[in-house]
A and B are shown apart, each in its own frame.
Chain A
Amino acid sequence: MSVEVLPYARREDIFKSEAPSPGTTIRYTSHDYVRGIESLRVRPARDVKPPRKRQPTEKILRRFEGFLVEDEGEDYRVVFIEDGLPVEYYMPSSPLRKAGITASNQPFQVDEVEIESASGRVVVGYSFTPMAKPSDAFNDAIELTDERRRKLNAIFERFGKAKV
């Protein structure tokens, strides 16, 4: 078998020439499975239109709202609101922390997103977005009913005054 190959050319040089290249002729002298074929004409790949690339797509499947309760080390304890009811969860703390959800009671939104990659692979991911910055916090004092006041006074009486 003899193969005739074009000399090496830098990629940029190939793309400089607009006209199609003359191509490469590979001549087979013997090969069982190509018996009868005398020659094969090969063109560089640039002459072939690449398949159109699909853009990755994202679709929001579900959206939850919730807030951060407590730091449990690798986990955060959070509350999601589902159909008007609180559902407590442990969530890995890292994605929330990276999204800037770092303060007690800080509200956030989480989107369950279906991502279809360019190759057509579908994965489900989660995107966390704080609904307020830690610096947006204000103080929401508890309603000090008579009963609560009475109990608080009993505590002060027994354990001393609070440092305010």
Chain B
Amino acid sequence: MGIVDAHPSAEKTRPQILDLVGKRKVHFVCLTHPHADHGVDLIPILRNHRAVDEFWHTNSDISSFVYHCLTERPNYPSPVREFVNRLADGWADFLLDLYSSVRGLPERKLHSNVQPIEIAGVRIWILGPEEQQAKQFVETYLKRASGVGKLLPSPNLLSAILAIEYGGCLAVLGSDALKGGWNHALEVHKANGLPRAIVLKVPHHGAANALALEKGRKNYLDLCSKQRAVGILFAGDSKHPNKKVFDELRGKTQLLCLSNGQKGAYGPANPLNIKMPGARSVRRSYVCQSQITVELNSDGSFKVQGMNCEECLAHSVY
């Protein structure tokens, strides 16, 4: 088996990750990008599982990245200084915990120039990030981190886009890849003559900055089969998924989600009652189903188990 990103279940509706994996051989553990909501549950696997073959990631210079996050923390003389430090401590500790757990495992740096990786008849294509772009991100991050008064770029830009091919079917894992990343992914997909995806892990929890909705612009839905694609939306927060994105996904895919796309962040979406359009708190979504199973078969058939959004909304408590 391979593990691509993992975060503990806050509601404890699924078994602990070590119980879920059991004693099975893990061919790879993949961190698509260094954000805690994608990586926290990879730590126990890397630390405790005895049979992991490789660690996959997209960061071209992990040591410098972690070192700068520890030592270069811009702050200001202000009453909120302590809160800045607390947030930065959490981020630094996550990076330290995760990367120090890799220990002696062989690493594989993912970018679109990497040849497809074949494991037990399953072919894994890397549609993104572009190698140069990934390097540039780390360089820019380090440069800005060592200067003062700069805005750091979002690590979402490092997101790996994986396409899993088996029996003529393709499942695309979109990570938190943003609009720009998908332009390149579409080119790689076309250049390699890959089939259209029947399953898509919706990128960035259905955020507006991942799906280009402007007329005439290509977006990640162009990778998907027009007749039978299933979109899988992972738990978001009060701002994710974006309403327009959610409507587009429902129109063009059979949508299943781990979170209720219409509403459902725990607690109010705007606890401070800020009367400004677009102001939303970062509160995680209600998770309405803990598990969605996708089965790709060698004869080209596939099976997806889980409630689709129509059912999920119909049974919604909201």
Residues of A within 8 A of B (CB): 64-75, 77, 79-82, 86-92, 95, 102-107, 112, 124, 126, 131-142, 144, 148, 150-152, 154-156, 158-164
* A106-B149, A158-B103 given; 16 more Cβ-contact pairs under 8 Å: A66-B80, A71-B152, A73-B208, A75-B239, A79-B83, A86-B83, A90-B281, A91-B274, A107-B76, A107-B79, A135-B149, A137-B76, A139-B74, A151-B97, A155-B100, A164-B64
Which residues of chain B (193-222) have a CB below 8 Å from chain A? 207-209
Q: How far is the CB of A126 from chain B (nearest CB, A)?
A: 6
**Alpha-carbon separation in the docked complex, A150 to B271 (Å):** 40
**Alpha-carbon separation in the docked complex, A6 to B151 (Å):** 67
Q: Which of B77, B102, B104, B276 has the most CB of A within 10 A?
A: B276
Count: A-B pairs, CB below 8 Å? 196
**Alpha-carbon separation in the docked complex, A160 to B274 (Å):** 47
**For this complex, into which size category does the number of interface residues on chain B fall?**
35 or more
- Closest residue of chain A to B280 (Cβ to Cβ) is A90
Asked whether B278 is an interface residue with its Cβ less than 8 Å from the other chain, the reply is: yes
B150 touches A104 (CB 8 A): yes
- Closest residue of chain B to A148 (Cβ to Cβ) is B96
Q: With A79-B87, A107-B79, A155-B96 in contact, do A92 and B154 touch (Cβ < 8 Å)?
A: no
Q: Which of B93, B151, B280 has the most CB of A within 10 A?
A: B151
User: Which secondary structure dominates where chain A touches chain B?
Assistant: mixed
**Alpha-carbon separation in the docked complex, A66 to B247 (Å):** 33
Asked whether B272 is an interface residue with its Cβ less than 8 Å from the other chain, the reply is: yes
Q: How far is the CB of B215 from chain A (nearest CB, A)?
A: 18
Between A and B, 19 residue pairs with Cβ closer than 8 Å are A65-B78, A66-B80, A91-B279, A107-B78, A107-B80, A131-B78, A134-B148, A136-B149, A139-B74, A140-B85, A142-B73, A144-B70, A151-B97, A155-B99, A159-B102, A162-B64, A162-B68, A163-B142, A164-B67
Q: With A75-B239, A137-B74, A152-B70 in contact, do A159 and B62 touch (Cβ < 8 Å)?
A: yes
**Alpha-carbon separation in the docked complex, A126 to B275 (Å):** 9
Q: With A81-B83, A155-B62, A155-B96 in contact, do A139 and B274 touch (Cβ < 8 Å)?
A: no
Q: Given A71, A72, A104, A126, which contacts B274 in the complex, CB threshold below 8 Å?
A: A126
Q: Given B74, B104, B282, which contacts A90 in the complex, CB threshold below 8 Å?
A: B282
Asked whether B66 is an interface residue with its Cβ less than 8 Å from the other chain, the reply is: yes
Asked whether B72 is an interface residue with its Cβ less than 8 Å from the other chain, the reply is: yes
**Alpha-carbon separation in the docked complex, A159 to B278 (Å):** 41
Asked whether B75 is an interface residue with its Cβ less than 8 Å from the other chain, the reply is: yes
Q: Give every chain A residue within 8 A of B92 (Cβ-Cβ).
A: 142, 148
- Closest residue of chain B to A163 (Cβ to Cβ) is B64
A106 touches B76 (CB 8 A): yes
**Alpha-carbon separation in the docked complex, A60 to B78 (Å):** 21
**Alpha-carbon separation in the docked complex, A80 to B173 (Å):** 33
B272 touches A87 (CB 8 A): yes
**Alpha-carbon separation in the docked complex, A71 to B66 (Å):** 20
Q: Give every chain A residue within 8 A of B23 (Cβ-Cβ).
A: none
A70 touches B149 (CB 8 A): no
Q: Given A67, A131, A139, which contacts B148 in the complex, CB threshold below 8 Å?
A: A139
- How would residues 141 to 156 of chain B score, 1 for a CB under 8 Å from any chain A CB and 0 otherwise? 0100000111111100
Q: With A71-B151, A92-B277 in contact, do A77 and B77 touch (Cβ < 8 Å)?
A: no
Q: Give every chain B residue within 8 A of A82 (Cβ-Cβ).
A: 271-272
Q: Given B61, B74, B77, which contacts A104 in the complex, CB threshold below 8 Å?
A: B74
**Alpha-carbon separation in the docked complex, A133 to B149 (Å):** 8
A69 touches B87 (CB 8 A): yes
- Closest residue of chain B to A164 (Cβ to Cβ) is B67
A104 touches B278 (CB 8 A): no
Q: Which 9 A-B pairs have the closest CB atoms?
A: A134-B149, A162-B67, A140-B75, A88-B282, A107-B78, A137-B148, A151-B100, A132-B76, A73-B209
Q: Given B80, B178, B276, which contacts A126 in the complex, CB threshold below 8 Å?
A: B276
Q: With A87-B271, A105-B84 in contact, do A137 and B149 touch (Cβ < 8 Å)?
A: yes
Q: Given B71, B88, B148, B151, which contacts A68 in the complex, CB threshold below 8 Å?
A: B151
Q: How far is the CB of B36 from chain A (nearest CB, A)?
A: 13
Q: Give every chain B residue within 8 A of A133 (Cβ-Cβ).
A: 149
